[in-house]
Amino acid sequence: MAEAAKPATKKPPKGGRKGGTIFPKLNLQKALEYGKKLVAKTHIGAQPEDEILPGVFGNSGPEGKVRASALKQFGLMQGDAKAYQATKLAKDIDAALPDGRPALLQRALLASKLFDKIFDTFHGDTVSKAQIAKRAKELDVHPESADECAQLFIDSAITAGLGTMSGDSIVLVNSGAVVAPAADPGEGDDAEDPGGAEPGAAAAAAKKGTGNAGLPPSGNKPGLAVSLNVDSSSDPDKLEKQLKLLREYGVI
């Protein structure tokens, strides 16, 4: 008797969950195009997912949810399936004059936790796509998605003015040159990958802030003495933050 044929394994939809750390499945330029549509669509007020997905992203299925997740990770969309709307950042970008736009785009790029970590690793360096993909894997991006993640980061960094191409590599600016203002509460990464589940609370981002803008020059200040009392019960993280602040203001 012939053995019964095994049912074919179902393939996940394009853009579906593979596991691992999530990242925006759109480059920043494309996300900005959708963001502009979202600002216009939600000008009067928030709208439900069944209006936003086809009206803004042109797809009411899994692909539309992937695009929506990307906008949330870039800090351009907020809310849940019952009521999505453009964030203040998206509105500011849409209304920005040319000289004010770069800081806002940098803020959008760094709103992605993963892209922020990659930039933090390589800022000031010239790196290849392969190096970025390797770092993405170290940050728990699924191995099959690492190359895609690296290319999207490269494209987005160029759009945000944080990198330029040199041959096959990207030259990233130093973090001190970042002019992105602090992110508004509620902007940043989804807590969940867009497989149909409702997104979680957004994360704060753009930790680089204004770089060193407005800070006095580094270096010890003559005639100024600093004393720190440290004992075994001191919180190492709190101490490190205090030392970092003192370094930024040139006290130590």
**Does 246 have pLDDT greater than 80?**
no
At 179 the pLDDT is 72
**Does 251 have pLDDT greater than 90?**
no
Distance of CA 143 to the CA centre of its chain: 19
Torsion angle, alpha carbons of 203, 134, 159, 179, to 10: 60
More confident residue, 11 or 213: 11
Q: What is the pLDDT of residues 96-143, one digit of tens each?
A: 999 999 999 999 999 999 999 999 999 999 999 999 999 999 999 999
Structure tokens, 210: 């204004």
At 193 the pLDDT is 52
Transcribe 99-142 into DSSP letters: GGHHHHHHHHHHTSHHHHHHHHHHTTSEEEHHHHHHHHHHTTB-
**What domains appear along the chain, each with residue ranges and CATH number?**
28-177 (3.90.241.10), 215-252 (no CATH)
At 56 the pLDDT is 97
Q: What integer best gives the mean pLDDT of the chain? A: 80
